[in-house]
Amino acid sequence: GEDVEQSLFLSVREGDSSVINCTYTDSSSTYLYWYKQEPGAGLQLLTYIFSNMDMKQDQRLTVLLNKKDKHLSLRIADTQTGDSAIYFCAEKSGNNFNKFYFGSGTKLNVKP
Amino acid sequence: EAQVTQNPRYLITVTGKKLTVTCSQNMNHEYMSWYRQDPGLGLRQIYYSMNVEVTDKGDVPEGYKVSRKEKRNFPLILESPSPNQTSLYFCASTAGALSYEQYFGPGTRLTVT
């Protein structure tokens, strides 16, 4: 299957910006996603970007997509303690619309 | 309320004892999928179903079976569970293959001793 890679941990101070990075190998990706998982909970879709877009902004969240480098990032402005969670990058395959590939997740720790 | 439900939420069982984890969605979605989540590995797709009676393998199907007899239900069956199937399992549904959003269930934590 395709690979989606993320760093495992990120620690920031409350009020700072957080940037979570992701790389993927599937050049035919259609949609790319960011999910949030809080402890003991399921996955919550935070935002997504279509593969022909470069950027998407949604309140405190900014997604940047560099399709040439197959690099996706999620920036969270004014990070709050409630943003502490695991963030998963995922992509929907363009070769098989039924297949989704997830990264290993980045654990974001926000210090007060 | 649109939702995906899974039962049970927690299960401890012994090696070799057949079990079924149920998944149901109330959104009339065509597409359903099962994932397992393991530390450091993220979510990996086990099986998916494009519609009733149509299923296919994901990336880690060994040791699992599924069925899709009704549109709303997609049970995951472990005929002979082993300790390496101890994991957190998620069911998800999507309106269709071209739809962008997957709706996830709350997860089932399975421990096989």
- In tens, the pLDDT along B86-98 reads 999 999 999 876 7
Q: Flag if A102 and B43 touch (Cβ within 8 Å).
A: yes
Whether the CB of B2 is below 8 Å from some CB of chain A: the reply is no
Q: What percentage of chain A carries pLDDT values higher than 70? A: 99
Cβ contact A53:A31 at 8 Å: no
d(CA B48, CA B27): 17
Residue B56 distance to chain A (closest CA, Å): 9
State the DSSP H helix or E strand holding residue B24, giving kind and residue range, or none if neither: strand B19-25
Whether the CB of A31 is below 8 Å from some CB of chain B: the reply is yes
Residue B77, classified by CB atoms within 10 Å of its CB into exposed (0-12), middle (13-18) or buried (19+), is middle
Cβ contact B87:B78 at 8 Å: no
Read off the pLDDT of each residue in B40-56 and give the average, rounded to a whole number: 93
**B66 DSSP β-pair partners:** B76
Beta pairing, strands A106-111 & A9-13: parallel
In this predicted structure, what is the pLDDT of residue B95? 85
For an interface test with A, which of B100, B103, B108, B109 has the most A Cβ atoms less than 10 Å from its Cβ? B100
Q: Flag if B42 and A104 touch (Cβ within 8 Å).
A: yes
Of residues B59, B97, B105, nearest to A97 (C-beta): B97
In chain A, residues with a C-beta closer than 8 Å to the C-beta of B98 are 97
Read off the pLDDT of each residue in A21-25 and give the average, rounded to a whole number: 94
Q: Which two tokens stand for residue A38?
A: 């809080």
Which residues in chain A belong to E strands, given as ranges? 4-6, 9-13, 18-24, 31-37, 43-50, 55-58, 61-66, 71-76, 85-92, 100-102, 106-111
In chain A, residues with a C-beta closer than 8 Å to the C-beta of B104 are 42-44
Q: What type of residue sits at position A44?
A: Q
